[in-house]
Amino acid sequence: MPVDLPDIYTDDGDLAFLLGVLFNQRVRSELAWQAPARLKQRLGSCDPLQLASIDPAELAEVIMQGPALHPWGTTMARNIVGTCSVLVRDYDGRARNLWSDNPTGQALLRRFSSFPGIGHHKARVAIALLTLEYGLTIGGDGAQLTAEALASCPRLTDVVLAQNKADETERANDVTSDRDLR
């Protein structure tokens, strides 16, 4: 099953991407990447300022409502609150500001790793997704960090290949539909 990654170019897609990176721990990728949208449904909105100021215990309850968004609700809630606090303080509340200035791979690795719950492995995976799935160019050693993420995470390769196959199928169906209209 292909992973439904958020559209980072929409108003809240960049935050959904960053939260997906957080949720992507000890759960299937498909569930991790659905979790930000499901969290937004439960809360009514997902705004970094709102999430930075929410009580982590209250957020943990929301995360653990059945079906749970993540098995570690308390930890995930603390990481979300901490991550959104850093976003508000350092990035004007916009996750896209992490990468919008075309940083080098090492700079982006440091930025991602500065968030609670995101270590170097998850940061490399995030960089790989930004380059492979969203087509962003990461300067310096971005290609090397992407290669390291792919080498250390076989599931990432499966996700990227499945996503590319799904995109190709969708394009082929679009072409077929266009022909049918003629």
pTM (two decimals): 0.83
Show the tokens assigned to 137.
């160019």
Q: For each of the domains in the chain, give its residue range(s) and CATH number, in order of start.
A: 13-181 (1.10.340.30)
Show the tokens assigned to 59.
């957020």
Round to whole Å and give the CA distance between 104 and 88: 22
Q: If the chain, 182 residues long, is cut into consecutive pieces of 10 residues, what is the mean pLDDT of each piece?
A: 81 95 89 94 94 97 95 96 97 96 93 96 90 86 79 70 54 49 50
Do the beta carbons of residue 157 and residue 147 sit within 8 Å? Answer: no
Query: What pLDDT is stored for residue 105 in this prediction?
Result: 92
Q: Is the dihedral of CA 9, 11, 15, 20 positive or negative?
A: negative
